[in-house]
Every structure is written in C-alpha cells, then in structure tokens.
Amino acid sequence: MVFMGVDVGTTGCKAVAFDPDGNILGYGFREYKVICDRPGWAEQDPEKVWLLTKAVIAEALNQSGAKEEVGALSLSVQGDAIIPVDRNIHSLHPAILGMDYRSVRQRDRCGELFGDRNLFHLTGMRPHPMNSLTKILWLKENAPEVYEKTYKFMTYADYILCRLGAPPVIDYTMASRTMAFDLERKQWSNEILDPLDIDRELLSEPVQSGETVGEMDPKLAEELGFSGKVMLAAGGHDQTCAALGAGVVRENIAIDSHGTAEVLSAAFRRPVLNDRMYESFYPCYCHVKKDMYFTFSLNHIGGILLQWYRDNFGSAEVKEAEELGMNAYERMISKAPKGPSPVMVLPHFNGSGTPWCDLDSKGAILGLTMSTTRHDIVKAILDCLTYELRINMETMRKAGIRIDEIRCVGGAARSPVWLQAKADITGCRVSTLKVREAACLGAAMLAGTAAGEYPSLDEAVARTVRLNEVYLPDEASGEQYDRKYAVYLDIYGTLKDINKRI
C-alpha cells in the first residue's frame, strides 16, 4: 500500500507519495501568493490554493506510478488561517492568514474579558492577533454580511479535507491553536464562545489526528487519477507533522526547522502551562500523537539573515559560487573561520523572537576591529543564531521541558559547519534525516496508521524515520563557545533601552 502526505503551507503546497518504509515514490510542488495590500494584513485565495493542492496530488500520484495502490491520504497545514465557507465549502472571503495582525483590537478585548493568563491556562494560547478566534471576531464586527452567510469558519485543515470529501472535522492540533479550545477536555470551550456570542456550530467537529474521517470523493479521485478508494485521515498543524516525520514522539527530543525563520519544537506527556511558559510566549497545544502535547520557540530571523548578508555583502562569494557551480551559501560558510567568531551579531533584525518577543529590539554587530573580515561576520551569524537557540532550550528547561537531542531540517541541515556548531553550542547530539520532507512524511504516517499499516505512530516512526548524519558535541570547542555565550547573554539587555531610543 502507498500513502500520501500533503503539506499546505503559507507560500506553497506539496504532495509526496511514500511506500510503507518511508521511501519517496512521487512528488509535486506549486507556489502561490500571499496578498499584503494593507499594513498588517495577509490574505490568500483559498480557491486557488485548493486548485494547486489538487495539482500537486495528481503530480505526485502520476510520478509514483501507484494509481491503484494509494490507500490513504492526510494533511499537514499552515496554522491559524481562517476561511469562512458556505454549505458547498466555497470560500466567502479571502483566507485571513496566521501572519495577519489586523485583529489587535479583538485580541485586546479577549484579554480584557477573560484575562490573558486565564486564556493561556484554559487553551494553552496567549491572546494574540494571529489566533483564529480573533480573526473570527474581526469578521463578525467588520464583515457582518460574510459572517451571516458563513456555514463554517475553517482552517486549511478542515477546508482541504472537506474539499477532498470528508465531513467538517478539524484535528485536535489545529483546534487547540485557535484560542477557543479547552485543552484539558479537548472540546470547544463554551466558557469562551458563549460570552463572545459565537455559535459552536460555526466550527468543525474536533477529532484526533490520524482518525479516519471519510473517503475521497469518487469523482474527484477519478479526476486526480486514482483507481481505487482513498481513505482520508485527520492531519495536523505543519509543525506537529514535521515533528512526527522527524520521530519526535517522545520527550527530550526536538526538531529544529530552519528556513526563513527558525522553529524549535518539542513534545511532552502532560500540558505545561506554568508561568515560565506564559512569560516566554511558548504555546501549549495538542501533538498529533494521542495524549501528547507540543510547543515551539520562534526566531523570526533564521536563514533570512544569511540571505541579507549575501545580498548586501556577499557578491564576491556569489560570483565564485557561480564559477564553481556551487551554492552561494556553501561558499560563504566554507570561508568562515573555525571555532567561535571574534565578533558577535544580535540577530534581532525584525525584533526578537521567543522568549522575549520584543518588537523594539534591533540587530547589531559587535566587536568590530580593523582586522575583522566579512567571513568573521558570516560565522558570527551562524554562532549567534545558535546562541538564540540555546537560550530557548534553557528557557524551556526551566519550564520543565528538557531537550537532549536535536533533529534538524531545512537550510541549516545542509551545512556540516553549522550542524557541528549547533552540537558544540547546545551540548546536544544533532542529527539530520534521510527523508527531508518531514511534514509530508508525518502526514503520510497519520494516513498509514489510519489505514492499519502501522499499529501505532511509534511503530510508524520506527519503520520510516531514519537518521542520516550525526554530530556529537566537541568538549574543547564547547568550552570556547561557552565563554562567548556568557558574553552573548548580556547583549540584549545591554542594548534594550538603546534600541528603544533608536
């Protein structure tokens, strides 16, 4: 039997067909736009996303050559977007994305009505304009004609599943990100919805990730090229699916997803809702694995800082890379000095991420001398982004979440220099994965478990997740980084007031 995982992200969608051992048989990818025509707004055409999602499913299926063998499909989706739909599951308004912050007033009102800490202890989410509930309130107050016509307010999880043929259901991971879900009882919270006069019938039915929720519509299956019945399984938030695809189904392991931003995600057995979690802006929501919970740290500036350096200072390395037929980033990093950089970078070029979430913080380069080279700055970017990672790991540890092993996906997973620095700076074993499409693999594992191929997600991980390269901390190098890290810890606090004045 073959299983398909579909990842519907913020700027593109992909579908991957896997055999039961986690080998890739077919792949499809398409990009789409985010519409930002007003400050703080970020919208998307969900109908366009649906058409392109169909296209990648058909492409992956055709490439796999397994039209009669695909037994089940599941989804990994971007978080927090809201799509009002009619009874035919056609959108009534552009999708309001998680990165859309128009609902600040609604966020503030929720905080005043319920209390910030009470909301966090009940739902695992601090009041924030990215939360789906605040976007529903915005539509209710600013687009009443849309609100009145709405059959369901959906995320991409229930929207795509419904278009595929399932009834209106939403998995626990996505429901628990809305700020309207009782994390302990695993149901929509009347304590929140009733005072806001939001009918819970406007929301899809919450179900466990990996639960069988229906079959693909036969006409759609024929259109896409499937020859047999395709079971549909409830999927999950993209971070939780990527964690599953990396084998993060037990405590003390984390996945470091390093793209434009850097996200460090961890799983645990009981909800962690203490003051340290709240003050550090860490969410607590459901993992795709039953009876496990999930959190992540967020650094808005990850790989994009290397891109900034490349575009502004790296023209020589770009030219050399073109002549040598190699990646410009590889060329930049290959020239970086070994060990800790003599200079430091505060990578708050778009404010700080967790655990401070200080939007007034600014980036800085410190320790410059006449002997400083641009290669020192490249290494400082690698070092200091990893110092930020360590700060979040230590903060999570104080909240009760210990991380001993890191599994890396994304851009940083292609750089041996950076991976070794991560091991030396954090003191953890750091590894890469043979299957880089972790989110799609996680979704496919949910599909395979629903179809009975795997008795449990633990056994699915044991069968499909394989480590590639493993990097162990070097004690001598780690001591050098420790001394630099002690200095780095003082930089943000020292510059905090100056950056506000700037």
Residue 260 pLDDT > 90, yes or no?
no
Say what the pLDDT of residue 255 is.
97
Residue 465 pLDDT: 97
Q: Of 384, 151, 107, nearest to 262 (Cα)?
A: 384
The per-residue pLDDT for 452 is 96
How far from 39 is each of 102, 127, 197, 254, 480, CA to CA, in Å? 8, 20, 29, 34, 44
Q: How far apart are CA 417 and CA 419, in angstroms?
A: 6
Instruction: Taking residues 263-290, report their average pLDDT.
Output: 97
The pLDDT-based confidence of 362 (bands split at 50, 70, 90) is: very high
Q: Average pLDDT of 306-318?
A: 95
Give how far the C-alpha of residue 127 lies from the chain's centroid of Cα atoms, to the nearest Å. 19
Average pLDDT over residues 137-161: 98
Give the chain's mean pLDDT: 96
Q: Specify the pLDDT at position 157.
A: 98
Distance CA 392, CA 429 (A): 17
**Mean pLDDT, rounded, for 429-453:** 96
Distance, CA of 210 to CA of 486 (rounded, Å): 44
Q: 382, 342, 384, 378: which is closest to 363 by C-alpha?
A: 384
Model pTM?
0.94
pLDDT at 309: 95
For residues 316-343, average pLDDT: 95
Residue-level pLDDT at 266: 98
Quickly count: other Cβ atoms within 10 Å of residue 466's Cβ: 11
Tell me the mean pLDDT in the region 460-482: 97
As a three-state string, the secondary structure of 423-437 is HHHHCCEEEEECCCC
Does residue 67 register a pLDDT over 90?
no
CATH superfamily membership of 2-240: ATPase, nucleotide binding domain (3.30.420.40)
For 46-55, what is each residue's pLDDT tens digit? 999 999 999 9
End-to-end CA distance of the chain: 60
Q: Parallel, antiparallel, or unpaired for β 12-18 and 2-8? A: antiparallel
In whole angstroms, what is the distance from residue 467 CA to residue 408 CA?
10
Average of pLDDT values for 142-171?
Answer: 98
Backbone torsions φ then ψ of 294, nearest 5 degrees:
-150, 145
Residue, of 300 and 248, whose pLDDT is higher: 248
pLDDT for the residue numbered 132: 97
> Can you tell me the mean pLDDT for 293-304?
92
Contacts of residue 93, Cβ cutoff 8 Å, sequence gap at least 6: 83, 84, 139, 143, 146
Alpha helix segments (H runs only) across 143-229: 144-149, 156-164, 172-175, 190-193, 218-224
Element (H, E) at 366: strand 364-366
Q: Mean pLDDT over residues 287-296, rounded?
A: 98
- List, in order, residues 6 or more apart from 304 with CB less than 8 Å away: 260, 261
Do residues 14 and 437 lie in contact, with contact meaning Cβ atoms separated by under 8 Å?
Answer: yes
- The pLDDT-based confidence of 259 (bands split at 50, 70, 90) is confident
392: pLDDT strictly greater than 90: yes
pLDDT band at 303 (very low <50, low <70, confident <90, very high): confident
Check pLDDT > 90 for residue 267.
yes
Is residue 222 predicted with pLDDT exceeding 90? yes
Instruction: Give pLDDT, residue 68.
Output: 87
For the segment 396-427, what is each residue's pLDDT rounded down to a tens digit? 999 999 999 999 998 888 999 999 999 999 99
Q: What percent of the chain has pLDDT over 70?
A: 100
Q: pLDDT tens digits, residue range 112-145?
A: 999 999 999 999 999 999 999 999 999 999 999 9
Quick check: 474 pLDDT over 90? yes
